[in-house]
Amino acid sequence: MKVEDLIIKVTYKVGLGDVEMPKEVYEQLVLASEKWAEIDPTMMKEEYREAADWLHENIKEADCMDWVAEVDEISEHDVED
């Protein structure tokens, strides 16, 4: 079966320990935590720019502990095989 479009949202947790970060990054992470705000590097929010850059550089998918996949969209081709 051929699928025309498949969009999956994957969420995973990463635990980091004993890491060095600039004070500005720490302050932005604390602020995001207090506001329950997501840090999305694609949103280009200046409020969390340094934190987003630091997270992008220091978190790799291979570090994940748990992950969840959510299907946002799936559609098949109309052509029958």
Half-sphere exposure of 28 (CA within 13 A, CB side): 19
pLDDT score of 45: 62
Q: What is the dihedral of CA 27, 38, 66, 3, to 10 degrees?
A: -150
Residue 41 — φ and ψ, nearest 5°?
-65, -20
pLDDT score of 47: 81
Each residue's pLDDT tens digit in the chain (81 positions)? 888 889 998 888 888 889 999 999 999 999 999 998 888 777 656 788 999 999 989 988 888 888 898 998 888 876 555
pLDDT score of 67: 86
pLDDT score of 12: 87
Residues 6+ apart with CB under 8 A from 15: 63, 65
pLDDT score of 29: 93
pLDDT score of 34: 93
